[in-house]
Amino acid sequence: MAIHVSIENLAAMQHFAKQLSTYLFPGFVLCLSGDLGAGKTTLTQFLGREMGIEATINSPTFTLMKTYDEGHLELVHIDAYRLENMGGDASLEEAISQAEVAVIEWYEHLLDNLPETYLTIHLRHDGGERRLLSIEGGGRYAAIAEALGA
C-alpha cells in the first residue's frame, strides 16, 4: 500500500528531504519516478544537502552516474533516463550494490539491477509548486514509508 504525501512548496520539499535523511542507512536505495519536471532532481539536491554535500548536484544523465563522497554518507546519483528498453546495465548494478546511498531516477529502466527491497517515491506535479508523493517500500523500507507519511 502506497503512502500519500502532499508537498505544498519548495520549503516543504526541503523539510521532507530532511525527514527522509534521518532514515538513511548504509546500503539505502531510493528510487524516484515522475515526469520530466516533477521534481526528482530537486528532491535529490535537497537530500544531498542534508547529507552534508556542498557540491552542486546536477544531472547525471550524460555519465548516467555521479558519485559524491564529501558528505556523511557517499551518495551515488543515477539517472537511467537514456536506458529505456535496454533491460538494465551491469556496471550500474554493481554501483548500486556497493553504494552507501543510491538515488535512482527513472529506475523503471533498471528494474533488473535493483536489490530485493528499496524505497520508491513517485512524484506528480499538481499545479504550481505543489507535488503529490506516493511512497512505497518493501522489507525494512515499509516502516520508513509509513513514518514519512505520518
Partner 1 sequence: MIVLAVETSCDETSVSVTQNGETILSNIVLSQIDIHQAFGGVVPEIASREHVKGITIVFKEALESAGIKAEDVDLVAVTQGPGLIGSLLIGINAAKAFAFAHQKPLVGVHHIAGHIYANRLVGPMQFPLVCLVVSGGHTELILMRGHYQFEKLGETQDDAVGEAYDKVARVLGLGYPGGPEIDALAATASPDIPMPVSMMDGYDFSYSGLKSHVINLLNQKRMKGEAIDVARLSASFQHAAIEQLIIKSRAAVDAYGAKMFMVAGGVAANKHLRQRVERTFTDVALRIPPFAYCTDNAAMIGIAAHYQVQAGHSTESYALKGHSRLKLTP
Interface residues with partner 1 (CB under 8 A) are: 36-37, 41, 55-56, 58-59, 61-68, 82-84, 86, 89-92, 95
State the nearest-atom distance from the C-beta of 93 to partner 1, in Å. 10
Q: Nearer to partner 1 by C-beta: 66 or 147?
A: 66
* Grid cell of 77 as nine digits: 546519483
Residue 93: partners with Cβ closer than 8 Å, 6 or more residues away: 110, 112, 113
CB 97 within 8 A of CB 72: no
Q: Nearer to partner 1 by C-beta: 24 or 78?
A: 78
State the nearest-atom distance from the C-beta of 28 to partner 1, in Å. 19
Q: Within its chain, how far is the Cα of 10 from the centroid?
A: 16
State the nearest-atom distance from the C-beta of 6 to partner 1, in Å. 21
Whole-angstrom distance, CA of residue 69 vs CA of residue 143 = 27
Q: Nearer to partner 1 by C-beta: 1 or 62?
A: 62
CB 92 within 8 A of CB 68: no
Q: Nearer to partner 1 by C-beta: 48 or 137?
A: 48
State the nearest-atom distance from the C-beta of 2 to partner 1, in Å. 25
* Grid cell of 46 as nine digits: 535537497
